[in-house]
């Protein structure tokens, strides 16, 4: 099935070359694009975006959404145009109205506040974030001190922290470990945000283990498959790239990490853009190979626009570098499934569109 987000194009200015120059553009020998796969939408983002689209379709506008449903400007703008209203907190939502919780998850306090205001809720929290919440609750019940590796202020970290604030300390960076103190060094576990750099997280874990040798590991990786797969793909491309362009928003943790990973693994230069019109012509000076990838909240149409622009500059030869296949699907939030079933809508599982070839 297709979504509105996939079909629409951002209204961004694209004036760079004259029509004749564009028409004359052809791949220039020696210039090429290495296109990362997997890239773009993960199953959790796909599910959250379609949850809002389905809510609009079945309940009608306005549909309130607490925080950005996913961290991507284009997605948010497109949904706003259809009648979604993005708010920071549930107290901005009229009593009794419908509110969707974003893919990043919410703390129990937010759920309670929505309940107190008689809001009708649809929880679009990614199931892989929910898994981390459950781990936090379970370890807190067993009186563990939880060292949550993640970025202070990020919505996902706030949500997980809110599950057991008295048992959790946030570890923002490897350096934080030096000043960290715990109640009982023999009863410590680490968990993490789902969208971190795999390498940096392991550095933090190693430092934690050196300090607390009896610290235990989470039952399974908290950094999700999509974050990890996108980083693996760009690691493969980066050493060959004179320039890496990451499509993704500045507040998208996994997109920002992709740029960092590209530089760390040998890209001569790496830039992050929301839209193709932010690509700067000066970046191409002396560049033969351009690597392209996108964060887990980025619709493929935005990558396509960057590829079109690159073709105009002679980088029309595109080779896809595939390091993994993704076929994960998540079913829609249960509150929505019930409504869809009642209305005869058979949509069930969604996700995993990140690896579709684009050219």
The C-alpha R_g of the chain, in whole angstroms, comes to 21
Name the residue with the smallest CB distance to ligand SF4. 44
Closest approach of ligand SF4 to the CB of residue 225, in Å = 7
List the binding residues for isopentenyl diphosphate: 71, 104, 154, 252-254, 297
Using CB under 6 A, pick the residue from 33, 36, 37, 42 that binds ligand SF4: 42
How far, in Å, CA of 241 to CA of 239, rounded? Answer: 6
Under a CB-based contact definition with an 8 Å cutoff, are residues 36 and 237 in contact?
Answer: yes
With binding defined as CB under 6 A, does residue 147 bind ligand SF4? no
With binding defined as CB under 6 A, does residue 234 bind ligand SF4? no
- Residue placing its CB nearer to ligand SF4 in the complex, 110 or 290: 110
Q: What is the footprint of ligand SF4 within residues 205-224 (CB under 6 A)? A: 224
Using CB under 6 A, pick the residue from 79, 140, 296, 318 that binds ligand SF4: 296
With binding defined as CB under 6 A, does residue 102 bind ligand SF4? no
Closest approach of ligand SF4 to the CB of residue 48, in Å = 7
With binding defined as CB under 6 A, does residue 226 bind ligand SF4? yes
Letter string b/e over residues 15-35, b meaning 16 or more CB atoms within 10 A of that residue's CB? eeeeeeeeeebeeeeebbbbb
User: Residue 62: is the preceding peptide bond cis (ω within 30°)?
Assistant: yes
Q: Which of 301, 188, 340, 275 is nearest to 12 (CA)?
A: 275
Q: Which of 4, 10, 2 is nearest to 74 (CA)?
A: 10
Using CB under 6 A, pick the residue from 34, 37, 43, 261 that binds ligand SF4: 43
With binding defined as CB under 6 A, does residue 254 bind ligand SF4? yes
- Residue placing its CB nearer to ligand SF4 in the complex, 249 or 289: 249
With binding defined as CB under 6 A, does residue 114 bind ligand SF4? no
Under a CB-based contact definition with an 8 Å cutoff, are residues 228 and 164 in contact?
Answer: no
Closest approach of ligand SF4 to the CB of residue 348, in Å = 18
- 89 noted as active-site residue: no
With binding defined as CB under 6 A, does residue 51 bind ligand SF4? no
Give the contacts of 152 (CB within 8 A, at least 6 positions apart): 170, 172
Number of C-beta neighbours around residue 95 at 10 A = 8
- Residue placing its CB nearer to ligand SF4 in the complex, 231 or 305: 231
With binding defined as CB under 6 A, does residue 192 bind ligand SF4? no
Under a CB-based contact definition with an 8 Å cutoff, are residues 316 and 292 in contact?
Answer: no
Select which of 135, 156, 300, 312 is catalytic.
156
How far, in Å, CA of 76 to CA of 87, rounded? Answer: 12
Residue 85: enclosing H or E segment and its boundaries? strand 84-87
Using CB under 6 A, pick the residue from 129, 157, 177, 188 that binds ligand SF4: 129
With binding defined as CB under 6 A, does residue 126 bind ligand SF4? yes
List the binding residues for [4Fe-4S] cluster: 42, 126, 224
Cα-based distances in Å from 14 to 80, 237, 279, 298, 306: 23, 27, 10, 19, 11
How far, in Å, CA of 240 to CA of 265, rounded? Answer: 10
Closest approach of ligand SF4 to the CB of residue 181, in Å = 30
Interacting residues with ligand SF4 (CB under 6 A): 42-45, 103, 126, 128-129, 194-195, 224, 226-227, 254, 296
Catalytic (active-site) positions: 156
């Amino acid at each position: 099935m297709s979504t509105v987000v996939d079909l629409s194009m951002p209204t961004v200015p694209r004036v760079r070359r004259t029509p004749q120059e564009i028409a004359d553009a052809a791949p220039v020998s020696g210039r090429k694009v290495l296109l990362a796969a997997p890239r773009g939408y993960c199953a959790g983002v796909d599910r959250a975006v379609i949850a809002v689209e389905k809510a609009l379709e079945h309940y009608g506008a306005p549909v309130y959404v607490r925080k950005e449903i996913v961290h991507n400007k284009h997605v948010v703008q497109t949904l706003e145009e259809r009648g979604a209203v993005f708010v920071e907190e549930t107290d901005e939502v009229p009593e009794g109205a419908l509110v969707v919780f974003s893919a990043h998850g919410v703390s129990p306090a937010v759920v309670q506040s929505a309940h107190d205001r008689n809001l009708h809720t649809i929880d679009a929290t990614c199931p892989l974030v929910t898994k981390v919440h459950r781990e936090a609750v379970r370890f807190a019940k067993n009186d563990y001190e939880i060292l949550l590796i993640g970025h202070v202020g990020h919505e996902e970290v706030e949500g997980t922290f809110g599950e057991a604030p008295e048992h959790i300390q946030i570890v923002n960076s490897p350096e934080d470990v030096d000043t960290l103190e715990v109640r009982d060094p023999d009863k410590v576990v680490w968990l993490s945000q789902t969208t971190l750099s795999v390498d940096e997280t392991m550095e933090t874990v190693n430092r934690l283990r050196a300090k607390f040798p009896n610290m235990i590991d989470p039952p399974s990786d908290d950094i999700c498959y999509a974050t990890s797969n996108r980083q693996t793909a760009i690691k493969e491309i980066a050493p060959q790239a004179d320039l890496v362009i990451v499509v993704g928003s500045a507040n998208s943790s996994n997109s920002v990490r992709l740029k960092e990973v590209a530089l760390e693994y040998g890209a001569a230069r790496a830039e992050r853009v929301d839209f193709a019109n932010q690509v700067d012509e000066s970046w191409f000076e002396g560049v033969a190979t351009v690597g392209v990838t996108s964060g887990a909240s980025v619709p493929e149409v935005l990558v396509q626009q960057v590829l079109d622009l690159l073709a105009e500059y002679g980088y029309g030869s595109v080779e896809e570098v595939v390091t993994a296949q993704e076929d994960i699907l998540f079913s829609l939030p249960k509150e929505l499934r019930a409504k869809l079933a009642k209305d005869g809508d058979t949509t069930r599982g969604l996700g995993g569109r990140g690896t579709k070839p684009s050219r």
